[in-house]
């Protein structure tokens, strides 16, 4: 059982947190995020910290307590420093480039794959084989990275495809004569 909900979320300078019923709004230098906390959880602000407490006992309340604390902490981190995910393209001829705000990739198909940047997400291509996805919402950054990876996931025989930076691809031995 997680006890992450007991930790208070510290609010750094330059970040304002507004509580409106069950809705928590966090505003910082990079943007603004809002989220509605579950009914089983009570949010209070004091001494530059947000603390979350359970209103009821039970398995759902315990789960929502830790989840709510993590999501609020991610909102605070997102509006201060933001989140970034890096993808690597592995394969002969696999490369990425920017077309305005959209990402254009050559992944071995007969056509280029163009992906428009969702609202709140920015793409960067420092090298032809590297894509950086950044934004203030952790879930949206991770979901965008997963969607791009799903286009051409790494295959186990040659290791070609789109993978997360540092991801280990489990290789298989090819067929023998």
Q: Are residues 93 and 76 in the same domain?
A: no
Q: What CATH number is given to the structural domain containing 58? A: 3.90.930.12
> For residue 176, what pLDDT is reported?
86
pLDDT digits (tens, 9 = 90+) for 84-99: 999 999 999 999 999 9
- How is residue 45 written in tokens? 């602000």
The answer to whether residue 176 sits within a structural domain is: no
Q: Which domain holds residue 95?
A: 83-164
Q: Is the pLDDT of residue 2 over 80?
A: no
Say how many C-beta atoms besides its own lie within 10 A of residue 31's C-beta: 14
DSSP 47-87: TTEEEEEESS-SHHHHHHHHHHHHHHHHHHHHHHT-EEEEE
Q: Are residues 95 and 158 in the same domain?
A: yes
Say how many domains are in the chain: 2
The answer to whether the predicted template modeling score (pTM) of the entire model surpasses 0.85 is yes
Q: Are residues 73 and 26 in the same domain?
A: yes
Q: Are residues 59 and 89 in the same domain?
A: no
The whole-angstrom separation of Cα 142 and Cα 147 is 9
């Amino acid at each position: 059982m997680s006890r992450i909900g007991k930790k208070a979320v510290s609010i750094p300078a330059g970040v304002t947190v507004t509580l409106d019923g069950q809705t928590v709004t966090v505003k910082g230098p990079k943007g603004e995020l809002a989220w509605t906390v579950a009914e089983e959880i009570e949010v209070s602000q004091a001494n530059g910290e947000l603390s979350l407490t359970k209103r009821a006992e039970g398995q759902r309340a315990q789960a929502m307590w830790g989840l709510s604390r993590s999501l609020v902490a991610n909102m605070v981190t997102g509006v201060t420093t933001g989140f970034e995910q890096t993808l690597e393209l592995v394969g002969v001829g696999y490369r990425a480039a920017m077309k305005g705000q959209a990402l254009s990739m050559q992944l071995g198909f007969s056509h280029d794959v163009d992906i428009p940047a969702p609202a709140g997400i920015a793409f960067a291509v420092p090298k032809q084989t590297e894509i950086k996805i950044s934004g203030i919402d952790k879930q949206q950054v991770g979901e965008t990275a997963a969607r791009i990876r799903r286009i051409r996931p790494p295959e186990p025989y040659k290791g070609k495809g789109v993978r997360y930076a540092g991801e280990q691809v489990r290789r298989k031995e090819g067929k023998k004569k």
